[in-house]
Amino acid sequence: MKPSTLPKRIVVKFGTGVLTSGIGQLNAERIAAICSQLAALRAAGTEIIVVSSGAVGLGMGRLGLAKKPRDVSKKQACAAVGQSLLMQYWQRGFDPHGLTVAQVLLTHDDLRLRDRHLGVKDCLHQLIDYGSIPVINENDTVSAAEIKFGDNDTLSALVASLAGAQHLVILSTAPGLIDLRGTGKIVPVVAKITPEIEAMAGGTTSETATGGMISKISAAKLAVRAGCGVFIASGAEPDILPRLLAGTGPGTFFVPSGLPMDSRKRWLAYFQRPTGSLHINTCAVPVLREQGRSLLAVGVTGASGAFSAGDIVNVVAPDGAVVARGETAYDSGEIPLIAGLQSPALRKRYPARKHLEVIHRDDLALL
């Protein structure tokens, strides 16, 4: 591919099955080939961020475990043993190319909480400016259920959105999205992720992998909404990265949808775990979706869950669809008192408030 047509920045996610040849055994030859491809892209001007699975699998091998433990503390122990081994392999792979890797371990809170979110973003930009290759993984050693991403496919999509990457490449043992119910062939291009596309996905039976195609489709949905094109392909294919970027590689490409959101609205939409919901009436739905206006009390019918002012909540239409997500200016106890009120009546109740919006449009992201 000509340098002028290369993307400025890509995130490449590697599944455990791509990097290993068995439980606890890294495929050194494949890692060397992958690093050679990444180094060539970096030399041509494309900035690279790697999201790498494999730490738990490596730890399992070093500890002599044949099956992934169910106990959380045992999984954390495997990650603690395997994480340093994983980074050693990546550095050895990049050494012949004079590139330095940088380990970045994240929990969901690191991207959900605004200050930490911005700190991670600044750190990644600085590492790229230094010419290093950030290698990101979930911090499985400390991650509990409430702060886990769930899988590295989701993590890679969030990183691609955070970093403003043009492309996310998800490499695993899957050659792409296969139409198992129809042609039996790889779907080369997905213009829109429909229920029919989602129905093609399946899970995983690997002892070391997590998620399968289901998690990859979910990650693709997130990334394309952030304006990032997504490739799903087999990491075992020779020279797969330059072939994909040239449009000649086998795999599935998911077309980005429309213009990307600004960074704050992406943070609101995709990096949160809402603490509750605001329920709105039918009239409020087009006001938000089509007119891009703030959510006012007159359009609110109630709330569910317990939340405080400043928390991130879902905005739910009468049919149960989550139409938006945003930062509420009122707590859950206040919502029943203000639901349905016109602005003059609300002003009487809160004469000292500067703004009366339940969620201001600047703090609201449409889904």
Of 194, 266, 189, 264, residue with least CA distance to 223: 266
E strand intervals along 57-206: 101-106, 133-138, 167-172, 189-190
Question: Cα–Cα distances in Å, from 212 out to 16, 201, 207, 208?
Answer: 11, 8, 12, 11
Question: Cα–Cα distances in Å, from 245 out to 9, 73, 238?
Answer: 12, 40, 14
Known binding-site residues equal 13, 53, 140, 152, 210-216
Classify 301 as helix, strand or coil: strand
DSSP state of 353: -
Is the C-alpha dihedral spanning 281, 287, 289, 290 positive or negative? positive
Burial class (CB in 10 A: 0-12, 13-18, 19+), 103: middle
Terminal CA-CA length for the chain: 35
Q: What is the pLDDT of residues 171-195, one digit of tens each?
A: 998 899 988 777 788 999 998 888 8
Residues of the chain with pLDDT under 70: 1-4, 23, 143-150, 202-211, 258-261, 263
DSSP state of 184: -
Rounded distance between C-alpha atoms, residue 223 and residue 238, angstroms: 25
Residues 6+ apart with CB under 8 A from 133: 38, 42, 48, 49, 50, 90, 94, 99, 100, 101, 102
What local confidence, expressed as pLDDT, does residue 142 receive?
74
Is there a contact between 275 and 284 (Cβ–Cβ < 8 Å)? no
Rounded distance between C-alpha atoms, residue 161 and residue 153, angstroms: 13
> Per the structure block, which two tokens stand in for 186?
């790889």
Known binding-site residues for ATP equal 13, 210-216
Known binding-site residues for substrate equal 53, 140, 152
What local confidence, expressed as pLDDT, does residue 259 receive?
59
Classify 235 as helix, strand or coil: coil
Full set of structural domains in the chain with CATH: 3-260 (3.40.1160.10), 274-366 (2.30.130.10)
Rounded distance between C-alpha atoms, residue 211 and residue 138, angstroms: 14
What local confidence, expressed as pLDDT, does residue 1 receive?
37
What local confidence, expressed as pLDDT, does residue 147 receive?
39
What local confidence, expressed as pLDDT, does residue 249 receive?
85
Rounded distance between C-alpha atoms, residue 151 and residue 140, angstroms: 10
- Bridge partners of 324, per DSSP, are 315, 366
